Amino acid sequence: MNTSSCIGISTMKPCCRFLIGYRISSIFGVSNFKSRDLVTSNLSKSQSKSVLRNGEARCKVIGYNKCVVDPNRRTFCVSDSSWGPAKGLGKSSFRVYKARKRGVLVIPNVASDFRNHSTSIENHVNEKGFERIYIQGGLNVKPLVIERIESGNEAVKEEDNRVDVNGLGVNLDNLKHLDENVKAQREASKIEEEAWKLLRDSIVSYCGNPVGTVAANDPADKQPLNYDQVFIRDFAPSALAFLLNGEGEIVKNFLLHTLQLQSWEKTVDCYSPGQGLMPASFKVRTVPLDGSDGAFEEVLDPDFGESAIGRVAPVDSGLWWIILLRAYGKITGDYALQERVDVQTGIRLILNLCLTDGFDMFPSLLVTDGSCMIDRRMGIHGHPLEIQALFYAALRCSREMLIINDGTKNLVAAINNRLSALSFHVREYYWADMKKINEIYRYKTEEYSADAVNKFNIYPDQIPSWLVDWIPNEGGYLIGNLEPGHMDFRFFTLGNLWAIVSSLGTPKQNEGILNLIEAKWDDLVAHMPLKICYPALEYEEWHIITGSDPKNTPWSYHNGGSWPTLLWQFTLACIKMGRPELAQKAVSMAEQRLSVDKWPEYYDTRSGKFIGKQSRLNQTWTIAGFLTSKMLLENPEKASLLFWEEDYELLETCVCALSKTGRKKCSRIAARTKILV
Ligand code: GLC
């Protein structure tokens, strides 16, 4: 069946098309959904009709040109001409939206008004014993108090005042400091200026519109591989830099164009991954226009993993897309984008992939190795923390953005249940601190029973020798991965930072993670923030776990290298926990080297002393991460739009019906007696 349904893309200029193979299935026809009722067409009749009507109208306007490329191709057009409000919304969904805006609860457990804030602490503290245990210590967390972020100008003013006050007695020391401050400020802004220029140089345009940034713009790079593409995950800090700078257009274009890529059917060796999959990256190619002499057209060419080294699955792409969509709404105030029918469908398709039933025994997401920032074999298959933390954040975003109606209420309920189960699972089983490691050290094994203490049958000998010396008395972290009989005790930075940002960890755990980073500064930051993971795999472990990967030798690249792009996420986490000075320290250190070193992708050696052996220069997410960190520190109120506080309603949700049947004890209920925090 050849279906070519256009749902109206406005800003797509005539000559643009996509270079992807695809067959059947319109996005609203949803012919190949694998899951049951979660995502079955959630659109009301009136919605789908009006969407198609818009599409038809749009297609007529552009009918004589090349928007719809080929009768076999199913293009997914975006509907408005000004990227304005969704036109496809039927009356019914509008009503629901209005109701939601007024804070009316449409279904139980859907906290109202997610858009503005997470469930507030005041309403919920001391309500339930369970909460008290589960989030014990939560209220001890320092609130976000940022008294003052000192800028050079302020420093100058202060110095000026002192000079004025002293009047005749001019203090030369003060003047010297004044000079130094002004100089440092001038230097800093020169570095930022350079970073902005480089960031702008990395912009990729499609049919005249900015749609993303290339991964790296290294002029000396003779073999760019796919670094000349727009990576979804790499665009996250670029998007935030632009948004914080008041430039929303590129982000909107990015979100809408990648949405179109998602809806194509993709095949890898005759197998089609799920419809909601977002590509790892895409490229704008210029190809000769069919049948025309010497004319060219631009096409979008995505990579869903079918060309990627190792054929890794870009699981994190869809999660980042959802996170960015929310950030766009929060920072620009343009919520119309997320309310559009096509965008709502995009969210649901991603969630469909994540929430679909499988053989899993855990609420965490089961993935193959290399399915996130670490996109090579590194022993992170199974349930790696990075994916769980991004998954949790994306679920929290989706819960805020999904328009609740009859078609989505099951999905929203599924999201709530998963959020609750996932946070319990990670908080309870991934947490490692002195006390927990001591418990594991004394674990009994081979326990067959629902009441087992050592549920995953972890042999105490698994505790690595480095950890025994390394774990500080204060603080702790979430381990890298948890599987039957296996705990990966390595510290993975991105996952831990996102656990803080999304409140996947308890308030006390989140505080503990920052304490650990501070206590282990020389290991995790040293000469360049921040280690992607700690420690490196060496010797036999490196051979066996990486498959002798020469790019991931010990203390290089993914295997214990230092990645400056992690700085913005660290900054966000620090601001959330009321510790901006910690982020400031890391940013200042990075500032001293990044421009001089030409903005490398990563650094090598145990302490991050050398520019990475195969590191690209002018790496965009290094540049954008630095700028974003700077702007977050200057605008902590904007930063607060990008993180979440503890949601007390989620803690109340326990979907485990086992206790009702009386068959078995719910381990969550059982765990109340031995909660870690
Ligand atoms: C490397 C990184 C990956 C990044 C890509 C583009 O493959 O591992 O996380 O997205 O480069 O910068």
Mean pLDDT of the chain: 77
Q: What is the pLDDT of residues 376-410, one digit of tens each?
A: 999 999 999 999 999 999 999 999 999 999 999 99
**Residue range 305-316: average pLDDT?**
87
Does residue 358 surpass a pLDDT of 80? yes
pLDDT of 354 over the 60 cut: yes
Per-residue confidence (pLDDT) for residue 610, from 0 to 100 = 98
When pLDDT is averaged across residues 63-73 and rounded to a whole number, the result is 27
* CA of residue 624 to ligand 1 center, whole Å: 14
Q: Residue whose CA is closest, atom 7 of ligand 1?
A: 375
Does the structure show a pLDDT above 80 at 29? no
Could you tell which of 217, 223, 226, 233 is best to mutate to test the pocket of ligand 1, judged by most ligand atoms within 8 Å of the CB? Answer: 233
Nearest by Cα to 407 from 46, 5, 98, 4: 46
Please report, rounded to a whole number, the percentage of residues in the chain having pLDDT higher than 90.
Answer: 61
- What pLDDT, in 10s, does the model give residues 257-288? 999 998 777 777 888 888 899 999 999 999 99
**HEC assignment per residue over 246-263:** CCCHHHHHHHHHHHHHHC
Cα gap 378→546, rounded to integer Å: 5
Residue 158: pLDDT band (50, 70, 90) is very low
Say yes or no: CB of residue 215 within 6 Å of ligand 1. yes
pLDDT tops 50 at residue 59: no
Ligand 1 mean position, distance from CA 21 (Å):
25
Pocket test for ligand 1, best of 225, 229, 320, 375 (most atoms within 8 A of CB): 375
Q: Which atom of ligand 1 is nearest to the CA of 620?
A: 12
Crossing angle for the helix pair 232-244 and 620-634, to the nearest 10 degrees: 40
CA of 213 to the centre of ligand 1 (A): 13
Say whether pLDDT at 167 is over 90.
Answer: no
Provide the pairing of β-strand 16-18 with 296-303: parallel
Helix axes 172-201, 620-634, angle to 10 degrees: 130
Residue closest to 450 by CA, chosen among 200, 170, 667: 667
Query: Is the beta carbon of 566 within 6 A of some atom in ligand 1?
Result: no
The pLDDT value recorded for residue 669 is 55
- Tell which residue, 76, 56, 111, has the closest CA to residue 404: 111
**What span, in angstroms and rounded, lies between the C-alpha atoms of 177 and 172?**
9
Who has greater pLDDT, 44 or 413? 413
What's residue 664's pLDDT? Answer: 52
| Mutate which of 214, 221, 232, 234 for ligand 1 pocket (most atoms within 8 A of beta carbon) | 234
Cβ–Cβ under 8 Å, residues 17 and 297: yes
Q: What's the 512 CA to ligand 1 centre distance in angstroms?
A: 29
The pLDDT of residue 171 is above 80:
no
| Omega before 535 within 30 of 0, i.e. cis | yes
Band of the pLDDT at 82, cuts 50, 70, 90? very low
- Give distance in angstroms: CA of 231 to centre of ligand 1: 8
| 174-220 pLDDT tens trace | 556 656 766 777 676 899 999 999 999 999 999 999 999 999 998 88
Highest mean pLDDT among 296-305, 310-319, 395-404 belongs to: 395-404
Q: What are the pLDDT digits (tens) for 615-627?
A: 999 999 999 999 9
Is residue 234 lining ligand 1, measured as CB closer than 6 Å? yes
Closest ligand 1 atom to residue 558 Cα is 8
Residue 109 has pLDDT above 70, yes or no: no
Mean pLDDT is lowest, of 15-29, 39-53, 269-283, for 39-53
- Does any ligand 1 atom lie closer than 6 A to the CB of residue 235? no
Is 60 exceeded by the pLDDT of residue 429? Answer: yes
Planar angle of CA 24, 27, 30, nearest 5 degrees: 75
Q: Is 308 in the pocket of ligand 1 (CB under 6 A)?
A: no
Q: What letter would DSSP give residue 565?
A: G
What does the angle CA 125 – CA 126 – CA 129 come to, to the nearest 5 degrees? 125
Q: Is the CB–ligand 1 distance for residue 375 below 6 Å?
A: yes
Kindly report the pTM of this predicted structure. 0.77
Instruction: Take atom 4 of ligand 1 and give the residue whose Cα is closest.
Output: 373
Instruction: Using most ligand atoms within 8 A of CB, pick from 231, 232, 315, 565 the residue to mutate for ligand 1.
Output: 231
Gap from CA of 92 to ligand 1 centroid (Å): 43
SS3 letters across 63-77: CCCCCCCCCCCCCCC
**What is the distance in A from the centroid of ligand 1 to the CA of 266?**
21
Give the C-alpha separation, 62 to 8, whole Å: 10
- What is the whole-number distance in angstroms between the Cα of residue 562 and the centre of ligand 1? 13
CA of 479 to the centre of ligand 1 (A): 22
User: Which pLDDT band, with edges at 50, 70 and 90, does 290 fall under?
Assistant: confident
More confident residue, 317 or 91: 317
Determine which helix (DSSP H) or strand (DSSP E) holds 549, and give its type and residue range.
Answer: none
Ligand 1 centroid to Cα of residue 129, in Å, is: 45
Using the predicted structure, report yes or no on whether residue 47 has a pLDDT greater than 80.
Answer: no
Q: How far is the CA of 533 from the centre of ligand 1 (A)?
A: 15
Q: Give the DSSP letter string of 394-420.
A: HHHHHHHHSPPSTTTHHHHHHHHHHHH
**Quick one: pLDDT at residue 547?**
96
Ligand 1 atom, smallest distance to 229 CA:
6
Q: Which atom of ligand 1 is nearest to the CA of 601?
A: 12
- Amino acid occupying residue 24: I
Q: Angle at Cα 120 formed by Cα 116 and Cα 121, nearest 5°?
A: 155
* Confidence at residue 173, expressed as pLDDT on a 0 to 100 scale: 58
Residue of minimum CA distance from atom 12 in ligand 1: 215
- Atom 9 of ligand 1: nearest residue by CA position: 373
Per-residue pLDDT tens over the stretch 514-564: 999 999 999 999 999 999 999 999 999 999 999 999 999 999 999 999 999
Q: Ligand 1 centre and the CA of 34: distance in Å?
A: 30
Mean pLDDT of 604-615: 97
Asked if residue 233 has its Cβ within 6 Å of ligand 1, the reply is: yes
| Token reading at 3 | 């279906």
State which ligand 1 atom lies nearest to the alpha carbon of 376. 8
Instruction: Report CA(552)–ligand 1 centroid distance (Å).
Output: 13
% of residues, the chain, pLDDT over 70: 69
Residue ID of nearest Cα to ligand 1 atom 6: 215
When mean pLDDT is compared across 161-165, 483-487, 588-592, the lowest value belongs to 161-165
Grade residue 665 by pLDDT with cuts at 50, 70 and 90: low
C-alpha R_g of the chain: 26
Q: Using the mean position of ligand 1's atoms as its centre, give its distance from the Cα of residue 187 in Å.
A: 30
- Cα of 490 from ligand 1 centre, angstroms: 20
| pLDDT in the model for residue 649 | 86
Instruction: Name the more confident of 59 and 643.
Output: 643
Bond from prior residue into 530 cis (ω within 30 degrees of 0): yes
Q: Is the CB of 373 under 6 A from ligand 1?
A: yes
CA of 494 to the centre of ligand 1 (A): 14
